[in-house]
Structure 1
Amino acid sequence: MPNSVIEKEQRTVVNILHAVDGYNEALAHQKNLYQAGTDFNEQKGNVAQTIARLHPKRLKLTVSEVIVDTPSTVTLRLTSNTQTLPPFQAGQYINLFVDINGTKTARPYAISSAPQQRDYYDLTIKRVEGGFVSNYLLDQVKPGDSFESTGPMGTFYHNPLFHGDDLVFIAGGSGIAPARSMIKDIVANTLVERKKNQKLHLIYTSSYQADVIFDEELKQLEKEHDFLRISWIITRPNEQYQGMTGRINVERLTQLLGDDAEKLSQKMFYVCGPTSFHDHCAEQLRLLNVKARRVRIECNGPPKNPQNLAGWPSNVNASDVIKVTIKGQGSFEARVDEPLLNSMERYGFSAENACRSGECSLCRVKVLNGAVFNPAEAKLRSTDEAFGWCHSCVAFPLSDIEIMI
């Protein structure tokens, strides 16, 4: 690699590091320690404390404000009185733990506020028809209520070193939450050179006009910032609607992005929305010959109607009820079309969890007897499959099973 290219990359890395909050202060502190001739014994334990502060296992949060975004969506603004909120990268999520009438469960929600805003996290939550947790959060939560959560996590975020500056974000419904965080992150970025080259094309699809989340805010951001372009699509418009309608497909993407294969290959795509939405978008991008490594997908929970997925046994009906036995702890009955983790929680059992979409692997349980259906979202390692482990958040029991947690 030519020296000029290496030097340019090194300068880019240095510029990015200097933009990190506290980096320059840390360098100055290090210089002072060197000048003092310290052996660093006084720093003993600081590394562990710093790691615990930046990556806490649990956060204690309080609802400071409930912001109604649309008739079906609210944003919970969460603060902490006991600790500094840890940093996160735009697009990451926290797993929010809830206790609903004695049933303890959790759901991951993307942080929709900017990473530069460390006084609070915004979680934007859309009502899910028949949803257990979303309906509780929209209908019963009020300012002053307390929650526990994980620290920020997830691999769905923009990495400027590897993803480039030509970005396309395809959002469906509440999938706009991480997009808002990414947009605000770019707006707040102090690296003028990077910001000058940045482009983000947001393709935002909603079912109804009244369902468009952050409508006025996004329009104002697009008006104020040249890097941002927004294409709005309504799939179920009323007769007066004059904008784009219908589903996202190859023709629509070509219309919005052009058909230059070389330019498409340089873009980084982010897709976030319901499972059926991101599966469909991924297929359309594949048909456009966009490489898989240029597409990043944020899964929102387990697949619905698993009986319709490839690999589901034809002799198992979605309404079948089976027996789940947890070795040494008890047993219960569950439907085969309900994720194993959900049914465990309903009967008072649990496993550590975060993403609830098969990615993080924290909820792994060992299947001792019986069979489970693992959809593609499970992302099982070969050793998991070889030794009977499954990700309980996206595993569906096909017969009476015995598991170890």
Structure 2
Amino acid sequence: MAFNFFKKNKDKEENKTTPAAATTSSDRYMNLTVADIIQETKDAITIVFEKPANGINYKSGQFLTLILPINGKEVRRAYSLCSSPFVDDQPAVTVKRVEDGLVSNWLPDNLKKGDAVKIMEPMGVFTTEFASTNKRHLVMFAGGSGITPMMSIAKSLLTQEPDSIISLIYCNRDIESVIFKSTLEKMELDYEGRIHVIHVLDQAPMNWQGHSGLLNHDMLLKIFERIPSWGVEKTTYLMCGPEGMMVNVQKLLEEQKIEKSKIFKESFVAGTIDKELKAEGAEPSSDEIVTREVTVIYSGEEHKFEVEPDTTILEKALDLGIDLPFSCQSGLCTACRGKCLSGKVKLDEEEGLSESEIEEGYVLTCVGHPLTDDVVIEIG
């Protein structure tokens, strides 16, 4: 019943399955055909893919990495699956335009039905296992396109766990920017009493009866009064959206004495939520980054190479033509995650890893630098 925690990057704009031992790098990729493009709002589209002949296995809350040829270069971006493997026959992702976003603007302007899109296998650990015997309450806080993984999880939970319920607090700029508005309304009707959606609008219309303005402390207190109380053991809190929103939510949850083990968050951009909540005055690291040799084991092959101070382990591998898995290159999506078997690695960004993953020795090669001469990393 526990969720895992992952982060991902969406064009710095604005989702991990573990492959079998015999998996090769080529098995991580496939081509999907665009079956439909749905205009959700003025700025958001849902891309529905045809189900491949061999099928596609994914979990609710995971993401697809789209690999696109833009301006003569291969560009990768990760987008959450808004579909559910239990409900939807075809996988789908939702993309929202972002100012100056390379991919988020290219897709709605150029992608057409029938186009083939290269993707990496579904990844991400913002997931949970579903069981008909579960009885739990998921409290979801979403902002803007942060609704996408929540939609996937909500569809699955409502169909697979008849005794579980959802409270969704969904923040948007205005009523026209609410993604999946009609779908959410239908879900409330179809599953009456099991999903409760509370909309929060920055700019509310004159006849708006709900909450308006930013999701601040006082508003959160009022919203919490409307959320069913199922007790600590049966309630889990999820959040995905702008950093400011998640900071406010996490601060209130801490104020309410909610255990960290019951709180899970996902971020689409490199964030500061944990940094802002950490105590100040931490001692800076004295580790020096210099040129060192590393060994990377991937798909049964061992690669040895030197990594310079101004280069990450992934960057150097790609420069040498070693096809390691990656997506965001910002330390968020975990597509490049590997286990450090020996040595020490410094990460520029740790937000994509949970505390337990860090304790187990996992590192992210896209933001990793070797600190010792005996670094060995195994991927996959």
TM-score of the superposed pair, with normalisation by structure 2:
0.68
Query: C-alpha offsets along residues 106-134 of structure 1, whole Å, 9 cap, x if unaligned?
Result: 22211111212463111011112111111
Within the alignment, does 1:381 sit opposite 2:358 as a pair?
A: yes
Question: Unpaired segments of 5 or more residues in structure 1?
Answer: 1-47, 314-325, 398-403
Deviation digits for residues 333-390 of structure 1, max 9, x if unmatched? Answer: 99xxxx99799999x9985214655352616799xxxx87435445583686xxxx96
- Aligned 1:4-403 pairs, distance under 5 A: 57-86=28-57, 88-117=58-87, 119-160=89-130, 164-189=135-160, 194-195=161-162, 197-226=163-192, 227-239=194-206, 241-258=208-225, 263=230, 265=232, 266-303=234-271, 351-354=324-327, 357-358=331-332, 360=334, 362=336, 373-374=348-349, 376-377=351-352, 381=358, 391=364, 393=366, 395=367
Would the aligned equivalents of 1:93 and 1:153 in 2 still touch at CA under 8 Å? yes
Q: Distance in 2 between matches of 1:90 and 1:306?
A: 25
Larger deviation, residues 279-288 vs 125-134: 279-288
Q: 1:374 and 1:312 mapped to 2: Cα distance?
A: 19
- 1:236 CA drift (Å): 2.9
Tell whether the 8 Å contact from 1:249 to 1:284 is kept in structure 2 after alignment: no
CA distance in 2 between counterparts of 1:359 and 1:279 reads 20
CA distance in 2, matches of 1:358, 1:330: 21
Amino acid at match of 1:68: Q
Moved more, 300-309 or 250-259: 300-309
In the alignment, the residues of structure 2 paired with residue 340 and residue 328 of structure 1 have an alpha-carbon distance, to the nearest angstrom, of 9
More helix by share: 1
Q: 1:300 to 1:84 in 2, by over 3 A?
A: same
Q: Give the CA RMSD over aligned residues.
A: 4.6
In structure 2, distance between residues paired with 1:64 and 1:329: 44
Offset, 1:251: 3.2
Q: Deviations for 1:148-179, whole angstroms, at most 9, x for unmatched residues?
A: 22222322123346985211111111111122
Going from structure 1 to structure 2, the CA distance change for 1:306 and 1:182 (only over 3 Å counts) comes to closer
Describe the SS at the equivalent of 1:151: strand
CA gap 1:154/1:378 in 2 versus in 1, 3 angstroms: closer
Residue 144 of structure 1 aligns to a residue in which SS? coil
Change (3 A) 1:118 1:354: farther
Distance 2:54 2:67 in 1: 18
Contact 1:105 1:345 in 2 (8 A): no
Within 2, Cα distance between the matches of 1:65 and 1:350?
31
| Alignment check: 8 A CA contact 1:201 1:229 kept | yes
Please state how far the C-alpha of 1:263 moved relative to its aligned partner: 4.1
**Greater Cα radius of gyration, structure 1 or 2:** 1
Distance 1:176 1:350, change over 3 A: same
Bigger Cα displacement from structure 2, 372-381 vs 128-137: 372-381
Q: Alpha carbons of 1:62 and 1:242: their partners in 2 closer, same or farther (altered >3 Å)? A: same
Whole-angstrom CA distance in 1 between matches of 2:45 and 2:103: 13
Deviates more, 1:286-295 or 1:163-172: 163-172
Sequence identity (%): 23
Counterpart position of 1:4: none
Report the alpha carbon displacement of residue 143 of structure 1 after superposing the two structures with TM: 0.9
Q: Secondary structure at the match of 1:77?
A: strand
Q: 1:206 is matched by which residue type in structure 2? A: N
Q: Distance in 1 between matches of 2:109 and 2:322?
A: 26
The answer (yes or no) to whether the contact 2:307–2:316 under 8 Å persists in 1 is no
Q: CA deviation at 1:261?
A: 11
Greater Cα shift, 71-80 or 244-253? 244-253
Question: How far apart, CA to CA, are the structure 1 residues paired with 2:223 and 2:316?
Answer: 43
Go from structure 1 to structure 2 and tell me whether the alpha carbon gap of 1:296 and 1:363 turns closer, same or farther (over 3 Å shift): closer
Shift of the alpha carbon at 1:84?
1.5
- Three-state SS of the structure 1 residue aligned to 2:123 is coil
Aligned partner of residue 95 in structure 1, secondary structure:
strand
Taking the aligned partners of 1:81 and 1:260, their CA distance within structure 2 comes to 41
How many residues align? The count is 328
Larger RCO, structure (CA 8 Å, separation 6 or more): 2
Tell me: CA distance 1:163–1:245, structure 2 relative to 1, closer, same or farther (3 Å): farther
> Once structures 1 and 2 are overlaid, which stretch shifts more, 222-231 or 94-103?
94-103
Q: Which ranges of 4 or more aligned residues in structure 1 deviate by more than 6 Å?
A: 259-262, 304-313, 326-331, 339-346
Q: In structure 2, how many angstroms separate the alpha carbons of the residues matched to 1:113 and 1:205?
A: 20
Q: In the aligned structure 1, how far is the partner of 2:281 from the partner of 2:90? A: 43
